[in-house]
Structure formats: structure tokens, C-alpha cells
Amino acid sequence: DVKVTQSSRYLVKRTGEKVFLECVQDMDHENMFWYRQDPGLGLRLIYFSYDVKMKEKGDIPEGYSVSREKKERFSLILESASTNQTSMYLCASSDGGTSGNTIYFGEGSWLTVV
């Protein structure tokens, strides 16, 4: 089975802290994604990456950056956490090629910024 692992399920951080959310997939997928999920808003794409060291902005990239130094790992960085970044963050990955390929999700990381 494909496994997408997010390193932390629950985090509490202070305003202004630098926050790293880590994601690892074990299926050699080219594409990796970071989504944010908020009640009533569904899932919104923050960033995605289609290859090592390649990244593209999604719908809501402001306040976030990403890093993909190795194919299996995709990190989301909050340079200076703010309370409006309190949310559920979901990492996902998929094979390249056709867009019909399934996107597999991790279990999510709940981030609270106080």
C-alpha cells in the first residue's frame, strides 16, 4: 500500500515561530502536494511539487514556503507562524503522467498557533 506519512499529527506553536511540517511518501511519486483544510472551505492547495527542487504555488501560498530536496520528502515551512494559520494540513502524493492517477493523502497535521 502507498504510504504518505506526516511527521506530526498535533502541534502547538507560538506566534512568530518558524514551523516545519514534514511529509514522506514511499512510492517514488513525482508529484507531492500540501493542502490546507478549514471547515466550510474544503481543501485548498498551498504548494505542489512535480520533481525534486521544483515547486509551484497553489491557491493560497502567502505565508508559506516549501522544500523538496529529495524525491520522497516534501516540507511545508511557516516562516513566522500566525494565528490565522491554525488549521489542518494535509500532504499528498501521486505518480506523474496521467492526471487520472490517484492522489494519496497523509493523515493530516493539526497545527494550532497561539
Partner 1 sequence: AQTVTQSQPEMSVQEAETVTLSCTYDTSESDYYLFWYKQPPSRQMILVIRQEAYKQQNATENRFSVNFQKAAKSFSLKISDSQLGDAAMYFCAYRGNYGGSQGNLIFGKGTKLSVKP
Residues that bind partner 1 (CB under 8 A): 30-31, 33, 40-45, 48, 50-51, 56, 58, 88, 90, 92, 94, 96-100, 102-108
Taking the least distance from each CB to partner 1, the nearer of 4 and 113 is 4
Taking the least distance from each CB to partner 1, the nearer of 14 and 98 is 98
Give the nearest distance from C-beta 46 to partner 1 in angstroms.
11
Give the nearest distance from C-beta 111 to partner 1 in angstroms.
13
Taking the least distance from each CB to partner 1, the nearer of 42 and 84 is 42
Give the nearest distance from C-beta 4 to partner 1 in angstroms.
10
* CA distances for 74 relative to 3, 36, 61, 82, 83, angstroms: 14, 15, 15, 21, 23
